[in-house]
Amino acid sequence: MAGNQSTELDVLIVGAGFAGVYQLHQLRKRGFNVRIVDAAATLGGIWYWNCYPGARVDTHVPMYEFSDEELWRDWNWTERFPDWAELREYFSYVDKKWDLSKDISFDTRVTGAEFDEASNQWLVKTDDGATTRAKSVVYCTGFAAKSYTPDFEGLEDFQGVCHHTAHWPQEGLDFTGKKVGIIGTGASGVQVAQVAGATADQLTVFQRTPILALAMQQEKLDVATQGEMKKEYPARYKRRNESSGGFDFPELTKSALEVSDEERNATFEDAWSRGGFSFWSNTFTDILLDMDANQTAYDFWRSKVHGRVTDPATAETLAPKVAPHPFGVKRPSLEQNYFELFNQGNVAVVDLKATPLEKITANGVHIDGEELEFDILVMATGFDAVTGGLIQIDIKGTRGETLKQHWEKGAKTHLGVSVNGFPNMLLVYGPQSPSGFCNGPSCAEIQGDWIVRALEDMREQEIVRYEATAEAENTWTEHVNMIGEMTMFPKADSWYMGANIPGKPRQILNYPGGVQLYMEQCNEAAKEGYKGFVLDKFK
Ligand code: NA7
């Protein structure tokens, strides 16, 4: 690893997004000898890689930032849903305030790690050829560290420009006057389309599953407004810590089925006008639990879309009568003018379910026996989410087994933080923790604090090796699956279920019971002397 470094660390952190940065700051304050390694050239995690035009966060200010007053006091955003460039500026600001970079190795990818039983240390290999010893490794790789590009026939023959949204050229790419094809209609596809549609000669959006995109209700923010808002920040951050998804939404009390049509509609309208994820998670208690309640949300959403798209057939493609899956069990995206795009003469949607993509050619995309020509193809095809970023690293545990092998039939962890056979290894924002169901910075802090305390406890008690038992791992996996079965998430083929990657085991990848219930169990385990872990003292 380049830079000012020690080759033997207390803790090596992989990843410099919200989770990793928080770990570095907190652990260093507590006297740990700690360092981050990140493959990117700057801080920011996914906001380094996802710099495609239109990339922005779907979480409103001030939820998508750290709750440390030392930071928010002097920081002001320009928009309610900031874009990638402003998020990078934020990270650079945090870097200066917390003095982080001196302990980060940038442009360095962790390629492998092997546990050395003799020293109870990890030997971590990086792509600069170095090996670093660390007593503990904390993986903060996020849920979207490994992109996914489908194995389209002929993709390598395409002669135009082709990028996955997560590998966008840092210098940018201009769509003006170009023929642009976007494959995928998740959050990334929607965001690129909104920008491309403004200047492209022709934009074609290839849709496999309609995205149930919600009104963002973007707003410009000025300093004076934020000055007023900041009076409420402490209460709002407290609220986010007490909520199930790491947001500051008010508590829900009513079922969608117990109210009159008028009241239900008024509640939906209110959430819609508040924007962001309000309509997803802050209308009625049973939207994600009861199919009839769920249908009312879908119908409302569909009527909003049909009100905005002039051609009825196009509106039906974008928002069909029969819901593609229950509302909200696949992650909705936020949109600003996504649906109006399809009223423009230069924008079209292709329904891949009706006319499958046959192959990619030198000039474009073959569909229904016809070739559509493109200058630029955008792969907005998502990620091998949650587990992919971890198992792409050659992590070898005590049985000679790699993490990839250990998770061959599905991820298994104890409390979403520890894996049997992989001692002294902790995961923040990992599988079977709330991660994908929780606002990132909230989880980085809430779960992150538990990890920091665990590392402190191990140090205080002179524990040199800690590891989840196989039994605890199985119990937690059964528990997560059991809660998952009680929800409607298994009803959709989503990345939440690992179902977007061919061959990936289908399982609910994140803890769906809410952050509160999750933390209660983590805290209980810690109180009981790290129940479910085997702890070995220095002899
Ligand atoms: P997503 O949400 O996983 O979206 C990927 C999109 O790509 C989605 O519309 C997929 O259709 C589509 N896709 C995937 N494979 C194919 C193939 N083979 N053919 C056609 N279309 C395909 O990724 P994003 O990057 O948009 O967002 C990821 C997360 O980042 C998001 O949830 C936020 O948390 C931020 P499908 O729906 O599977 O039919």
Q: 330 and 451 share a domain?
A: no
* CATH code at position 410: 3.50.50.60
DSSP conformation class of 155: G
Are the C-beta atoms of residues 110 and 123 closer than 8 Å to each other? no
For residues 320 and 213, state if they share a domain: yes
Same domain for 326 and 181: yes
User: Could you tell me if the CB of 386 is within 6 A of ligand 1?
Assistant: no
115, 180: one domain = no
Of 444, 419, 466, 389, nearest in space to 141 by CA: 389
Mark whether 375 and 396 lie in a shared domain. Answer: no
Instruction: Calculate how far, in angstroms, residue 149's C-alpha sits from the geometric centre of ligand 1.
Output: 10
| pLDDT by position in tens, the chain (length 539) | 544 445 799 999 999 999 999 999 999 999 999 999 999 999 999 999 999 999 999 999 999 999 999 999 999 999 999 999 999 999 999 999 999 999 999 999 999 999 999 999 999 999 999 999 999 999 999 999 999 999 999 999 999 999 999 999 999 999 999 999 999 999 999 999 999 999 999 999 999 999 999 999 999 999 999 999 999 999 999 999 999 899 999 888 999 999 999 999 999 999 999 999 999 999 999 999 999 999 999 999 999 999 999 999 999 999 999 999 999 999 999 999 999 999 999 999 999 999 999 999 999 999 999 999 999 999 999 999 999 999 999 999 999 999 999 999 999 999 999 999 999 999 999 999 999 999 999 999 999 999 999 999 999 999 999 999 999 999 999 999 999 999 999 999 999 999 999 999 999 999 999 999 999 999 999 999 999 999 999 76
Instruction: Determine phi and psi for 18, rounding to 5 degrees.
Output: -55, -45
pTM over 0.85: yes
**Which residue's CA is the nearest one to ligand 1's atom 3?**
382
* Per-residue pLDDT, 539: 60
Helix/strand number for the chain, H first, E second: 17, 20
Please tell me the total count of domains within the chain.
2
Q: In the prediction, which pLDDT does 538 show?
A: 73
Whether residue 397 is found in the same domain as residue 362? no
Query: Is residue 76 one of the residues assigned to a domain?
Result: no
Residue 395 near residue 403, CB atoms below 8 Å? yes
**186 C-alpha to ligand 1 centroid (Å):** 5
Q: Is 287 found in the same domain as 410?
A: no
Q: Is the CB of 331 under 6 A from ligand 1?
A: yes
DSSP three-state, residue 529 = coil
- Domain co-membership, 218 together with 104: no
| Pocket flag, ligand 1, residue 315 (CB < 6 Å) | no
Q: Distance, CA 501 to ligand 1 centroid (Å)? A: 10
> Could you tell me the residue range of the domain that residue 288 belongs to?
155-379
314 with 189, same domain: the answer is yes
- Helices 440-460 + 18-29 axis angle, to 10: 30
- Checking DSSP bridges between strand 110-116 and strand 202-207, what pairing results, if any? unpaired
- Return the H-helix or E-strand segment holding 486: helix 470-486
Atom of ligand 1 nearest to the CA of 494: 38
| 150 assigned to some structural domain | no
134: CB partners within 8 A, 6+ apart: 8, 9, 10, 11, 12, 121, 122, 124
53 belongs to a structural domain: no
Cβ(454)–Cβ(528) below 8 Å: no
User: For residues 447 and 429, what is the distance between their CA atoms, to the nearest angstrom?
Assistant: 8
Question: Is 350 inside a domain boundary?
Answer: yes
Q: Are residues 205 and 310 in the same domain?
A: yes
Residues 309 and 412 in one domain: no
- Residue 445 and residue 508 share a domain: yes
Choosing from 379, 399, 427, the residue where a domain stops is: 379
